[in-house]
Amino acid sequence: MPIIVNLDVVLAKRKMKSKDLAEIIGITTANLSILKSGKAKAIRFSTLEAICKALDCQPSDILEYVEE
């Protein structure tokens, strides 16, 4: 998929666990796992906003476009 989710990288930089992030932003660890693995079809702005707020980052830190 052309959109890469670099959530693992940002989590590592912030020294935060996936479980903690899921709890902060109010989604299940399963859904966060779907997002991290690149299986997600879409992300809501509200979820993206919550992630950026929790990790103190920009959407471009998390999402990257790579041409196929």
Partner 1 sequence: MKTKRILKIMHVFAWIALIGLSIKVGAIIISYLVSLGNEGAAKDLYEGMNLVAYKQNSLVHYSIIVGYRVIQFGLQAYIAFLVVRLLSNLNINRPFNLNALKAMQTISYSLLLMWAIVVAHNIHVGILESTTGIKATLVSSEFILMAGIVYVFSLLFKRGLELQSENDLTI
Binding site for partner 1 (CB under 8 A): 27, 31-32, 34-35, 39-44, 47
The residue assigned the tokens 């999402």 is 63
Instruction: Work out how close the CB of 56 gets to partner 1 at its nearest, in angstroms, rounded to a whole number.
Output: 20
Nearer to partner 1, 16 or 34 (CB): 34
- Least separation in angstroms between CB 15 and partner 1: 23
Q: Is the Cβ–Cβ distance between 18 and 32 less than 8 Å?
A: yes
Nearer to partner 1, 30 or 66 (CB): 30
On whether the CB atoms of residues 7 and 54 are closer than 8 A, the answer is no
What six digits make up the tokens of 14? 């912030």
